[in-house]
């Protein structure tokens, strides 16, 4: 059973989401375990200080190394060594293949930064893997951590009602986008379900879906190439 340990200053904010949907199903079935840990508990001053001003000046505050590293050391002494990921604007993009890999990891650590991020020495001390979920800015890594947990949870055997959902989804092969889906009613506001889906010819349906997926994948690639890239990547 995969274990995710999320280091965050706001564990209560994550608990409600973890209790519903795919992740909630995985937890209730005992197929996944998620611990939310507040690294503020490893501070030593009366104000429970986790951040300080950056050396060299500049805006914002930086998360201090002592409480973060001591928290991780305590966690791993109790639960065992984790694969250590940190949600970081400079991290490599998190892909479907990463979710597939984490579904087979016994323990994964997800570190959620705030303010101007973590003191750089934490990265070296803990040998962290920086990852990002996209080129946009959030206030912290919590939403990104939930994204990674959910992307992984649905790949754990037994979580989804139909295992084909994960196998046939977008990016299951690393790059192809899923085809369009339709349900009842057959006609809605003058828009009809494609006729090929109504004839019961599964060979034709499979061919249509494959062509659809290829067309949508190409359109997505064309849109990506047409969008100017900008520096910076979000947690």
**Catalytic annotation, residues:** 89, 116, 154, 169
Q: Nearest 5°: phi and psi at 129?
A: -105, 110
Query: Alpha carbon of 123 to those of 4, 111, 227: distances in Å?
Result: 19, 11, 32
| Structure tokens that stand for 39 in this block | 């690294």
Q: How far apart are CA 145 and CA 157, in angstroms?
A: 21
* Cβ-Cβ contacts under 8 Å for 179 (sequence gap 6 or more): 208, 209, 210, 212, 213, 216
Q: Of 50, 121, 112, nearest to 84 (Cα)?
A: 112
Q: Which letter does DSSP use for residue 110 in this model?
A: E
First to last CA, the chain: 26
For residues 87 and 94, give the distance between their C-alpha atoms in angstroms, rounded to a whole number: 10
As a dihedral over the C-alpha atoms of residue 80, residue 86, residue 87, residue 92, rounded to 10 degrees, the angle is -120
Task: Give, in order, the Cα–Cα distances in Å from 91 to each of 81, 87, 173, 189.
Answer: 22, 7, 23, 45
């Amino acid at each position: 059973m995969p274990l995710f340990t999320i280091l965050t200053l706001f564990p209560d904010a994550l608990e409600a989401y973890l209790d519903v949907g795919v992740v909630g199903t995985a937890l209730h079935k005992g197929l996944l375990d998620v611990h939310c840990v507040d690294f503020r508990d490893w501070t030593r001053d009366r104000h429970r200080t986790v951040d300080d001003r950056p050396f060299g000046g500049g805006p914002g505050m930086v998360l201090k190394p002592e409480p973060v590293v001591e928290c991780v050391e305590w966690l791993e002494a109790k639960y065992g060594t984790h694969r250590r990921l940190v949600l970081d604007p400079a991290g490599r993009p998190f892909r479907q293949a990463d979710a597939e890999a984490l579904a087979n990891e016994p323990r994964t650590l997800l570190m959620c930064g705030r303010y101007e991020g973590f003191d750089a020495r934490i990265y070296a001390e803990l040998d962290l893997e920086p990852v990002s979920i996209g080129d946009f800015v959030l206030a912290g890594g919590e939403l990104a951590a939930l994204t990674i947990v959910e992307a992984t949870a649905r790949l754990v055997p037994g979580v989804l009602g139909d295992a084909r959902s994960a196998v046939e989804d977008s990016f299951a092969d690393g790059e192809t986008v899923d085809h369009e889906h339709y349900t009842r009613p057959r006609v809605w506001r003058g828009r009809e379900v494609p006729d090929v889906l109504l004839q019961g010819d599964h060979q034709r349906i499979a061919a249509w879906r494959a062509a659809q997926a290829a067309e949508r994948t190409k359109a997505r690639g064309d849109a990506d190439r047409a969008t100017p890239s900008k520096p910076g990547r979000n947690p």
